[in-house]
């Protein structure tokens, strides 16, 4: 197979230098990116210097030049290192001293992001991102999807996250909202007869930032009509298989494993478990229960086996544990005097009621969970429905994996997490023992307000629509919501959507209490104006059943690139304060500019 080296000329056109026939080695991009310039002294008298070479010696690093000469293979042991016999050099643009001073630095000033992007690792990351987008588009083409762009100037709707608002110049006092996602538009496309839609969508959420969040980000958005969850999941699996094979050289095994939400939290302590480790959390409710703490009745343990590598790191607790929710840890000794000591400590710490005597219970637990001498047991209690996410032992499991395992990004452990609760308690805004406190009198949608309830719960919900006196406990309802998780990272989430207007109206008005939406309309009555009028009207017009999903494109690219932060795969990311120091955004505007939009700033 022939290989070629890419050379960029002064017109930013790419030429190819063919590999010599005797070369048997593969060339890396980094090898190709380095080209040595040299002078052919055999064609010039020894006492006469080449003025172009003199110029080259005086140049600052990163000077932009045009070089004319003959390309050949350099001498030495690197078969793909190229060199050019210089005939002429033209300076196209000089570089400031700052450019050469910043070469090699690890602490780049964000104001000079364009200099940082010149480095090999960022050039490779951006090229990889482009390739990933192309591969995804190819999969959609194979499955007969069409790409449709949806508007970025939307209206404000109560979907959960804070929105970015844009004032209207022509309608005083009115605002556009930048979309949190294209969710409502893509459902409208399903009502429009577009049966298979996708787009690379820009989304905007005004929320607190961390390494895997940006105020503006890209989603790979898809929706299918006359489709169920398995249809959507099949397309997504095709995308992941193609990406991991082409980018990482890894063959993903299908079908991808499925795990119920409650099972993920019970066995791994988190709703996006990293399955590169087989460590599990064990529910010991059959052996013991908490007597005095009704908020945390479930007693559970995590066992770290002594033969595991990096064992000393296992006995340390991770940073950031909530003050009163640190798991008890104990290294087991199986001598007669010590064998039940760990359980005795747990009984005192968590005020447990054992189903049998201490020695018998400890012996049965040891036998069932293969506990051996020297193992470390971590114990804690949790809620029966674990809204703590991760649970204390889930956090401990992640810590053990990070400290004691070699987690290679060459390994891939994809997982579908299914059967989420349709609704979860709203956050109260207070932190108790390091965890968010929940207000159980108010509910929010776990995924979004348009997720279809499970088939089993539909009869009860439809009965509630017809009978206003019907009492339905929304916390018992499971939603048709599914997340795709790879190596402990949620890379996408989707659901089957509600396509019945009565059911959608009931969910919005009765359960989520969205203002302005009536639970039922009189015969012939039109939908009154509310944040979701457009969607409710569309659902009455024979909108077909539909389902979809959105992949976090930035997060997916970071994972494929082996990066810890999505900033590494975004050309011009925002800082953790949401600013872009490169261009100085956000920036102040004048009162005159604001006046055009009938907006005044309030002094704080």
CB distance 546 to 224 below 8 Å = yes
Cα 26-29-31 angle, rounded to 5 deg: 75
Whether 122-258+416-569 shares its CATH topology with 277-406 is answered: no
Going by the DSSP 8-state scheme, the letter that residue 484 receives in this structure is E
How far is residue 511's CA from residue 473's CA, in Å, rounded to a whole number? 10
Is the per-residue pLDDT at 256 higher than 50? Answer: yes
Segment among 38-42, 60-64, 183-187, 360-364 with least mean pLDDT: 38-42
Domain ranges of the chain: 4-103, 122-258+416-569, 277-406
Residue with tokens 């919501």: 481
What are the distances in angstroms from CA 563 to CA 58, 539, 557? 37, 42, 8
How far is residue 128's CA from residue 558's CA, in Å, rounded to a whole number? 10
DSSP-assigned letters across all residues of 368-417: HTT--TT-EEEEEEE-SS--SSS-HHHHHHHHHHHHHS---TT---EEEE
Is the per-residue pLDDT at 421 higher than 70? Answer: yes
Is the per-residue pLDDT at 22 higher than 50? Answer: no
Query: Which class would CATH give 122-258+416-569?
Result: alpha beta
Q: What is the mean pLDDT of the chain?
A: 84
User: Would you place residue 409 in the very low, low, confident or very high pLDDT band (cuts 50, 70, 90)?
Assistant: low
Summarize the confidence of residues 348-363 as an average pLDDT.
93
The reply to whether CATH 3.30.1360 applies to domain 277-406 is: yes
Q: How many residues does the chain have?
A: 604
Q: Give the per-residue pLDDT at 16.
A: 38
Sign for the pseudo-dihedral over CA of 354, 355, 360, 362: negative
DSSP-assigned letters across all residues of 499-533: --HHHHHHIIIIIS--TT--S-PPTTPPPPS-TTH
**Residues 491-530: pLDDT tens digits?**
999 999 999 998 999 899 988 888 888 877 777 777 778 8
CB distance 484 to 490 below 8 Å = yes
How far is residue 463's CA from residue 452's CA, in Å, rounded to a whole number? 16
Residue with tokens 């005597």: 357
Q: For the whole model, what pTM was predicted?
A: 0.87
Phi-psi sector, 519: left (phi>0), alpha (psi -120 to 50), beta: alpha
Structure tokens that stand for 564 in this block: 């810890």
CB distance 189 to 148 below 8 Å = yes
Cβ neighbours around 165 below 10 Å, total:
11
How far is residue 3's CA from residue 77's CA, in Å, rounded to a whole number? 18
């Amino acid at each position: 197979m022939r290989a070629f080296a890419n050379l960029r000329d002064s017109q930013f056109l790419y030429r190819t230098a063919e590999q010599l026939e005797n070369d048997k080695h593969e060339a890396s991009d980094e090898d190709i990116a380095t080209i040595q310039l040299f002078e052919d002294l055999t064609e010039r008298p020894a006492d006469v210097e080449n003025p172009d070479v003199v110029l080259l010696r005086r140049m600052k690093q990163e000077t932009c030049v045009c070089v004319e000469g003959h390309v050949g293979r350099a001498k030495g042991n690197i078969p793909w290192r190229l060199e050019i016999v210089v005939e002429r050099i033209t300076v196209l643009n000089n570089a400031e001293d700052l450019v050469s001073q910043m070469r090699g630095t690890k602490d780049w000033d964000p104001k000079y992001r364009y200099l940082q992007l010149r480095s090999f690792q960022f050039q490779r990351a951006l090229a990889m991102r482009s390739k990933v987008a192309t591969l995804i588009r190819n999969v959609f083409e194979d499955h007969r999807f069409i790409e449709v762009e949806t508007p970025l100037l939307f209206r404000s709707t109560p979907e959960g996250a804070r929105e970015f608002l844009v004032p209207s110049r022509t309608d005083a006092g009115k605002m556009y909202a930048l979309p949190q996602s294209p969710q409502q538009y893509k459902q409208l496309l399903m009502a429009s007869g577009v049966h298979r839609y996708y787009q690379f969508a820009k989304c905007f959420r005004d929320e607190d930032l961390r390494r895997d969040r940006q105020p503006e980000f890209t989603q790979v958005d898809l929706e299918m009509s006359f489709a169920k969850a398995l249809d959507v999941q099949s397309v997504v699996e095709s995308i992941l298989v193609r990406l991991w094979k082409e980018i990482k050289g890894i063959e993903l095994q299908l079908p991808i494993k499925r795990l119920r939400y409650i099972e993920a939290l019970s066995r791994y302590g988190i709703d996006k478990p990293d399955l590169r480790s087989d460590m599990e959390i064990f529910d010991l409710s059959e052996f013991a229960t908490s007597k005095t703490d009704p908020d945390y009745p479930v007693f559970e343990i995590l066992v770290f086996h002594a033969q595991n590598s990096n064992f000393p790191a296992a006995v340390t607790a991770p940073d950031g544990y909530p003050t009163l929710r640190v798991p008890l840890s104990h290294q087991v000794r199986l001598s007669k005097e010590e064998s039940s000591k760990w359980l005795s400590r747990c009984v005192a710490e968590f005020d447990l009621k054992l189903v049998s005597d201490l020695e018998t219970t400890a012996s049965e637990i040891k036998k069932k969970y293969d506990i051996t001498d020297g193992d470390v047991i971590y114990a804690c209690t949790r809620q029966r429905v674990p809204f703590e996410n991760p649970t204390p032992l889930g956090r401990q499991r992640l810590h053990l994996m990070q400290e004691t395992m070699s987690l290679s990004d060459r390994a891939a452990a994809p997982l579908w997490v299914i059967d989420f609760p349709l609704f979860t308690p709203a956050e109260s805004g207070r932190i108790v023992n390091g965890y968010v406190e929940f207000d159980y009198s108010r509910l929010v949608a776990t995924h979004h307000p348009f997720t279809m309830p499970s088939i089993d719960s539909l009869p009860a919900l439809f009965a509630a629509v017809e009978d206003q006196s019907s009492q339905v406990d929304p916390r018992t309802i499971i939603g048709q919501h599914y997340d795709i998780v790879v190596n402990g990272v949620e890379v996408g989430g989707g659901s089957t959507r509600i396509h019945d207007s009565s059911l959608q109206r009931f969910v919005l008005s009765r359960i989520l209490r969205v203002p302005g939406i009536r639970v039922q309309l009189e015969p012939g009555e039109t939908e009154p104006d509310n944040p979701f009028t457009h969607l409710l009207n569309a659902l009455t017009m024979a909108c077909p059943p539909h389902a979809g999903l959105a992949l976090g494109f930035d997060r997916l690219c970071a994972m494929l690139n082996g990066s810890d932060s999505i900033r590494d795969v975004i050309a011009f990311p925002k800082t953790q304060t949401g600013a872009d120091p490169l261009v100085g955004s956000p920036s102040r505007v004048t009162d005159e500019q604001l006046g055009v939009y009938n907006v005044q700033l309030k002094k704080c």
